[in-house]
Amino acid sequence: MDWDQRFEELLREYLPFLSDGEPLSPDTGLRDAGLDSLGTVELLGSLESTYGVRFVDDALSPETFATPAVLWAALGRMSRAAHG
Domains along the sequence of the chain with CATH: 7-14+27-83 (1.10.1200.10)
Counting other chains too, the contacts that 37-43 makes at CB distance below 8 Å and 24 or more residues apart are 39/14, 40/14, 40/65, 42/14, 43/10, 43/11, 43/13, 43/14
pLDDT over 70 (residue 1): no
pLDDT tens for each residue of 49-82: 999 999 887 788 999 999 999 999 999 998 888 7
Question: Mean of the pLDDT values across residues 30-56?
Answer: 95
pLDDT value at residue 80:
87
pLDDT value at residue 83:
79
Chain length of the chain: 84
Question: Mean of the pLDDT values across residues 10-38?
Answer: 96
Q: Could you tell me if 70 and 78 are in contact, meaning their C-beta atoms sit under 8 angstroms apart?
A: no
- Percent of the chain with pLDDT strictly greater than 70: 98
